[in-house]
Structure 1
């Protein structure tokens, strides 16, 4: 439901694999923490759309030198994904 609300994509549970629950400092709110349950998606290629309170949407890679990643992505999500791929 949340994915549909935030980026306009309906997913089925059978297409998702949980890779972890992570807690990290919020990227844009000092002294706040975010907690995320993160999944990989195994399905058709889909194009997300900005919806709800999403102000910006872009594809990022951990090796893009000009992109500052949120702590959640840099410290937890990308390393978890990389360990699954390796």
Structure 2
């Protein structure tokens, strides 16, 4: 399956937003597209940081960035699933 161009993606996201606002999403396609696009940003950043960590000596700073990216991706996943983790006031 080919990746959509930036123009195609912008059009699809705009259409999905309109579908959601008008309540015309009977098969949940707009909901799925918007959710996946939201999560993809976090996962793309996680992949970039993981690659840098693995390919640049696994330094402590990159490890910290990687752990933070994992936490952000998990938080985004939890938010979209309606689940909130307890942080016990440590974050």
TM over 0.5: no
Structure number with higher strand proportion:
1
Q: Which has the higher contact order (CA 8 A, sep 6+)?
A: 1
Bigger radius of gyration, 1 or 2? 2
Larger helix fraction of residues: 2
Structure 2 length-normalised TM: 0.28
